Structure 1
């Protein structure tokens, strides 16, 4: 029995027969669809769905993309990503279509099935311990992105990912930004290693916890030799890169990104802008690992970002964290832009 979520004509944004590549809503829904295509590719593989029984192709063919390559994990041989190439038909080769990406690389998140669960959970743990940059999946992703850039140019390459896949895309985007190559990133429900403070209803309690945390983080960063200068340099390099984050406040995995950025403003308001700036460049977990002599790469430390927050009611965790929500048109969305100066 095929799940409805795998069928584009049932669960996809079929209303987008005509795409405006300038429209952020259209870009969001297409990027989410291509990520879903990566999920369904792996589910097709696991369930031995081939030919007319395979479900994945609708998620990219509807938008005139071709599947150029599947990305396979070298540990469990699962499909963890897909490389798509835009093939605009003659009928829509307009000025608007020129703003479409030439290549999109999409990464799926964790699939809780026997064939993928073990490997995906190991990578989830690597994320928690700031070690995802040491995984072979990340290295394979980097190779794919460098190849795509050499083919299409960095301004025509998009990265997209959901959950664990968003973490991979974030890490790749940061690595390229350190080389002054700034890619378009679409990060759906990206995980952040932080308690889900955003889910606390009392605003003053939330602010108090975050302010206290900022003072602790800044104090520890100042105490670790060389860490303050290093973090300032990295943030300055990364500042021009502006990834797009798609968050749901009911999703404890990603919701604290909202507070991560909002807390900067609050620290400035109370006259502690310098402390807030230092705190936002560091993480408590990363600093502790550094003190223990271990290499770490805290993914959530981002200087700049565009945030899209979906505050629509989410009846359960699956709804709040799922990729399908970002293909919908009836969402209660808010937008914020953050730039590091």
Structure 2
């Protein structure tokens, strides 16, 4: 589990709400329990030298290190990790780049554990004031990228660290990156587990490895052949296709042009394994497409497709919720669109 004081959750939710079309984020500082569960005592906003765009967030490293040194000396707490938003991008999990960033930082600092908090606008709430989802992640082996099933636990009231900072001079004296949410702000939000919830979540239960699959380096298989009736040859009965079947039989065979196009590609199971979230991105991180794939009883279809660009302030819905188009056509369009965007 990941614990966070209500004051710190409000701070990062308020920051997310102010930037509905670009990624934002900050640092997480606190303590680890004996069984490897973090408690967040301070969540910052972006440092003055941070980088933000529709598809990219990089925290100001100098600011992050300065805050950690100060709090380690004064209160004995340290960096736990980072939080960031995927705003209205449609990507509701950590990207491969997010995970590699954590792995690289863990190797450099020789820290075994790390955590992340991901925020994004829920459903079609893509503007300030819309409901925000918060998803926690805990790495049991950060250098290896091993994640665990994680639930968010909110501790009532104000963090003692923030209370001490306010006693020292009030919110007005803090840098913009350290300010909390206004007292009058009360934006809607919801908690989302980063994996299927554990059957029984006990206090300080040891974390377990998270299942995840990447498409990096995957060799394309022979493409699925469509029959005259429109259903893929050899396809299982309606509503019986799980995410591994979608990935192996329907998505992977269509990815032969991804490497040639200079794109990165990953896939994540969603909806309790009944669907796939496929991320396509230029290697320069300037453009991203996120496709949601499911089985409609006859064929693999994309029921949502969103895109975002580093040089634009708004994301685009190519296939909106409650619509669907055949996977080959949607995937081909996404690849061609990203190739053009480069």
Using the size of structure 1 for normalisation, the TM-score is 0.31
- Answer 1 or 2: which has greater strand percent: 2
Larger radius of gyration: 2
- Answer 1 or 2: which has greater helix percent: 1
